[in-house]
Chain A
Amino acid sequence: MQHEDKTVQKKNLYGIEITKDLTIPKLFYEKAEKYGEGRIAMREKEFGIWRPITWKDYFENVKYITLGLIRLGLEEGDKVAMIGDNRPEGLWAEMATLCARGVGVWLFRDCLIDEVKYIIDHSDTKFLFGEGQEEVDKALSIFDQCPKLEKIIWDDPKGMRNYDQDCLISLKEVQELGRELERQQSTLFEETIEKGHGDEVALLFYTSGTTSLPKGALLSHNNMLTMGQHLMTVDPCQPTDDYASYLPFAWIGEQMMSISCGLQVGYTINFPEEPDTAQENIREIGPHVMFAPPRMYEQMTRTVQVKYLDAPWIKRKCFELSTKIGYHVADFKFQKKSVPWYLTFFNWLANIAVQKKIKDHLGLSRVRNAYTGGAAMGPDHFRFFHALGVNLKQIYGQTEVAGISVVHRSGDIKFDTVGHPIPETEIKITEDGEILTRSPSVFLGYYKNPEATEETLKDGWLHSGDKGFIDDDGHLVVFDRTKDVFTLRDGKPFSPQYLETRLKFSPYVRDSWVIGDQRDYITAVICIDYAVTGKWADEKKINYTSYQELSQMPEVYDLVEKQIIKANKDLPESARVEKFVNLYKEFDADDDELTRTRKLRRAFVEKRYQDIIEALYTNNDNVHIDTTIKYEDGREAHINTDLHIRRLKIED
């Protein structure tokens, strides 16, 4: 039924027609020819200066890496893995892999060695691009266990002077090989690109998975390109826009923005100097579009709240007043009512006096559309950004649809929904409430896992495993993952994620974990924010030496209790947290407690902290802990302590 308007829709934007024949490299070739030296493709801050890379530089670099890879023996369909920070070389490597008709595999930079080994081995990776010494060390330590891995390519020479293993080769040398090959076969690059087809596999993406081992999703060129086109139809970007790339490339959202959308629109991609300087660098760039998981926005909210706590009286009052105005205006907008003239005026004042400055500090001053997705975001955070005047939108998607399938439209935002499907995307709800998606971007299947593919892909419909419904306005509402909707013993349902995000709105709480399925009442495990709570303790002249000690202070318990009481307000009595405990450490992806995108792995923590759960549902005041923690470099520390359990005071 959608076939007629397909062609109309396909060419209207940026003059690109996405046919089955089009591949990412072909589009790249076209864009590079079009823009050449005249336009900046990307920027990287290096040695304190933003250094531009034109489309011509981009093209040349990719070309010689491509030819170098072919010279090294890359054949069609071979896998090439990449690990490292966001930097131009990473994107070049990925583009070169695609140009050489290989398949790109991205790894999270902070992956532990076992995960790296699993992915490299499972994906049959032939070449691995690492950034510098750290990545090379990781790769070398698994080299013998991954027989298919042939070469490790590095680009940062720092610390590499004593490495002379045969399997190592620098990016410069690869490009040199490419130049040699070009002298022999001058049109090989163009010919190789020409051979590609849109249905070929472009990327092999490992999903983080809250439950089991990572699964490799196969995405075709066509999947990626249609995704970019559909998102850009909803919220068009300009070729003159700026985009900041600082989230891991191993996350589908970043791929969608940098490759799928970036290539079609041709906006400038900006890479920060170091991960530590990202926030500062984003402020310098002032991107026009932003896509980040909720934790980034939560972090921004926390930054503002902490600054607020630190500010002198007059500034605090100004902030309070302007946010109050902002909230009023946002509420009018949420209800799709027109904002009264006096509020518009006050909001204008508040914007000049406060909001503009805050947005500038957060790097949001020019942002037209900010997206969040990948996990649940609390309404408090959501309203906070709209009160500032940031057009924050929820999206819903997954790796298996190459990015997103549902998004809010400007002016039609409801914070408990994720919006409408993007063009050419159909959403269906099964009788059990499972969300099904069908679109040209739905993936090809899981790599070497036919059972999982069969379970997920049925007649072209993607079975997400998520539950939800479509509301009266046609918005999709996503429940938490099926197993995460809990019922108390008396049958009353509650959503743990909702409670958790509410608790996390407090700057003192970094992570929270709500328990109560098939229990008599709800309890919470709290991870305090070390920096913020630590600062609070400093001001109160409370001495502490470690996270563990700070978390167990009675004063800190009082503080957290206050935060929970705040979060409990306006909740039905049965859905309130009754008891809580401060954990002796923060949840960490390295301990498998969170996924790499910081989603709580409930089943795992339930098993790991069984003692704590038991203690929360008995009359104990204390729970004894005897355990080991694993650091990123593989070292372990032993913890032996008592955790205090606090029951909330009964309020009126």
Chain B
Amino acid sequence: MTVSKELQEQDILLELDDVHMFFGKVCALAGVSLKVRKGEIHSVIGPNGAGKTAMMNIINGLYSPQKGNIFYKQKKINALKPFQRAQLGISRTFQKVEVFGGMTVLDNIRLGRHIHMKSGVTSGSIYMGKTAREEIEHRRFIEEQIIDLLEIEHIRHRPVGMLPYGLQKRVELGRALALEPELLILDEPLAGLNLEEVEDMARFVLDVNEDERWRVTCILVEHDMGVVMDLSDRVFVLNFGNMIIDGSPDEVQNHPEVIKAYLGEEDLYATRR
């Protein structure tokens, strides 16, 4: 265990405490503890089947763990449903893009604004005064903050299903951001992208994390070591349900067990370089 700094209570946005998760007799997570600090990019790495996505699903509420607690802003959220967690400000993207293929880019992103909509079905069907103004406000937010940030002006009105994979990933990120999250879970955002798209996506993640406007805390699940080590403030290494180490990128790269279990003896930066 190498936690270099004492963690201040209020600095911690999300905490997993001794979480266990079983599927039948298969143990996906065996007592995992994670502390994500506000404003950081905290990466989770590990070989395939290590339980990374299961961990994300637990945070987001798709799975509920058999044992252990999840705290968000010091509040226990074990019992909350995914949509309730979304209202708290937890947003995510998926390993395989989960967008609405038949809908346009704009509609997909609009969907992410749903929890911020105040008007209901009745006022929506009349669509006058307050509702119309609200709609314009949301559209302004989407245009100025998201479409501009992600550089997707040219595909605004195109159905997502027709777009190349790299752009679909971007749209999914856009939808996650439309929620105006405080915690953003990125499940392999770079998988299947070409070099140029990887660079773009990495830039967007950094923008979202560092920009005064956003300051979103990110949990990044990723296999691309070059990107992980460059972007992350902390890296959490998972191996078959067990944590190996949770530390700074430097600590992780030099940890003998990590090298043995996951990274191999090769140069860490060999990937994509």
CA distance A159 to B147 in the complex (A): 15
Interface residue from B139, B154, B203 paired with A280 (Cβ < 8 Å): B154
Are the C-beta atoms of A161 and B154 separated by less than 8 Å?
no
Would you list 26 pairs from A and B whose C-beta atoms are within 8 A, ordered by A residue? A47-B140, A47-B143, A47-B147, A47-B148, A48-B139, A48-B143, A48-B147, A48-B153, A48-B156, A49-B143, A158-B148, A158-B207, A159-B203, A159-B207, A161-B210, A161-B211, A161-B212, A162-B210, A273-B154, A274-B151, A274-B153, A274-B154, A276-B153, A277-B153, A277-B154, A280-B154
Are the C-beta atoms of B153 and A273 separated by less than 8 Å?
yes
Are the C-beta atoms of B144 and A47 separated by less than 8 Å?
yes
Minimum CB–CB distance from B261 to chain A (whole Å) comes to 32
Which residues of chain B have C-beta atoms less than 8 A from A159's C-beta? 203, 207
Closest to A49 in B: B143
CA distance A48 to B140 in the complex (A): 9
Of residues 133 to 161 in A, which have CB atoms within 8 Å of B's CB atoms?
Answer: 158-159, 161
Closest to A47 in B: B143
CA distance A280 to B211 in the complex (A): 31
Would you give the 0/1 interface string for A446-461, flagging 1 where the beta carbon is closer than 8 Å to chain B?
0000000000000000
CA distance A48 to B153 in the complex (A): 8
Which residues of chain B have C-beta atoms less than 8 A from A276's C-beta? 153-154
CA distance A274 to B147 in the complex (A): 12
CA distance A172 to B148 in the complex (A): 20
Which residues of chain A have C-beta atoms less than 8 A from B207's C-beta? 158-159
CA distance A274 to B150 in the complex (A): 13
CA distance A198 to B264 in the complex (A): 71
Minimum CB–CB distance from A331 to chain B (whole Å) comes to 38
Minimum CB–CB distance from A637 to chain B (whole Å) comes to 11
Which of B143, B144, B154: most chain A Cβ within 10 A?
B154
Q: Majority SS of interface residues in chain B?
A: helix
Which residues of chain A have C-beta atoms less than 8 A from B211's C-beta? 161
Of residues 272 to 298 in A, which have CB atoms within 8 Å of B's CB atoms?
Answer: 273-274, 276-277, 280
Closest to A278 in B: B154
Which residues of chain A have C-beta atoms less than 8 A from B153's C-beta? 48, 273-274, 276-277
Which residues of chain B have C-beta atoms less than 8 A from A273's C-beta? 153-154
CA distance A273 to B147 in the complex (A): 12
Which residues of chain A have C-beta atoms less than 8 A from B139's C-beta? 48
Which of A48, A273, A274: most chain B Cβ within 10 A?
A48
B residues in contact (CB < 8 Å) with A? 139-140, 143-144, 147-149, 151, 153-154, 156, 203, 207, 210-212
With A158-B148, A159-B203, A161-B210 given, name 9 new contacts (CB 8 A): A47-B147, A47-B148, A48-B139, A48-B156, A161-B211, A274-B151, A274-B153, A276-B154, A280-B154
CA distance A288 to B44 in the complex (A): 56
Which residues of chain B have C-beta atoms less than 8 A from A162's C-beta? 210
Which residues of chain A have C-beta atoms less than 8 A from B143's C-beta? 47-49
Which residues of chain B have C-beta atoms less than 8 A from A161's C-beta? 210-212
CA distance A49 to B139 in the complex (A): 11
Which residues of chain B have C-beta atoms less than 8 A from A277's C-beta? 153-154
CA distance A280 to B149 in the complex (A): 20
Minimum CB–CB distance from A86 to chain B (whole Å) comes to 15
CA distance A273 to B157 in the complex (A): 14
Would you give the 0/1 interface string for A7-48, flagging 1 where the beta carbon is closer than 8 Å to chain B?
000000000000000000000000000000000000000011
Would you give the 0/1 interface string for A252-271, flagging 1 where the beta carbon is closer than 8 Å to chain B?
00000000000000000000
CA distance A161 to B143 in the complex (A): 21
Minimum CB–CB distance from B199 to chain A (whole Å) comes to 9
Closest to A279 in B: B154
CA distance A158 to B148 in the complex (A): 9
Which residues of chain A have C-beta atoms less than 8 A from B148's C-beta? 47, 158
CA distance A273 to B149 in the complex (A): 14
Which residues of chain A have C-beta atoms less than 8 A from B151's C-beta? 274
Which residues of chain A have C-beta atoms less than 8 A from B154's C-beta? 273-274, 276-277, 280
CA distance A276 to B203 in the complex (A): 20
CA distance A161 to B208 in the complex (A): 12
Closest to B210 in A: A161
Of residues 499 to 520 in A, which have CB atoms within 8 Å of B's CB atoms?
Answer: none
Minimum CB–CB distance from B166 to chain A (whole Å) comes to 14
The 5 A-B pairs with the shortest beta carbon distances in the complex, nearest first, are A276-B154, A47-B143, A277-B154, A48-B143, A274-B153
Closest to A275 in B: B154
CA distance A285 to B87 in the complex (A): 41
CA distance A66 to B139 in the complex (A): 36
Which residues of chain A have C-beta atoms less than 8 A from B156's C-beta? 48
Closest to B155 in A: A276
CA distance A158 to B213 in the complex (A): 11
Which residues of chain B have C-beta atoms less than 8 A from A47's C-beta? 140, 143-144, 147-148
CA distance A158 to B147 in the complex (A): 13
Would you give the 0/1 interface string for A466-490, flagging 1 where the beta carbon is closer than 8 Å to chain B?
0000000000000000000000000
Closest to B196 in A: A633
Would you give the 0/1 interface string for A47-62, flagging 1 where the beta carbon is closer than 8 Å to chain B?
1110000000000000
CA distance A158 to B156 in the complex (A): 20
Minimum CB–CB distance from A172 to chain B (whole Å) comes to 16
Minimum CB–CB distance from B192 to chain A (whole Å) comes to 15
CA distance A273 to B154 in the complex (A): 9
Minimum CB–CB distance from B172 to chain A (whole Å) comes to 20
Minimum CB–CB distance from A405 to chain B (whole Å) comes to 37
CA distance A20 to B221 in the complex (A): 67
Minimum CB–CB distance from A283 to chain B (whole Å) comes to 13
Closest to B139 in A: A48
Minimum CB–CB distance from B273 to chain A (whole Å) comes to 11
Closest to A157 in B: B211
CA distance A276 to B140 in the complex (A): 21
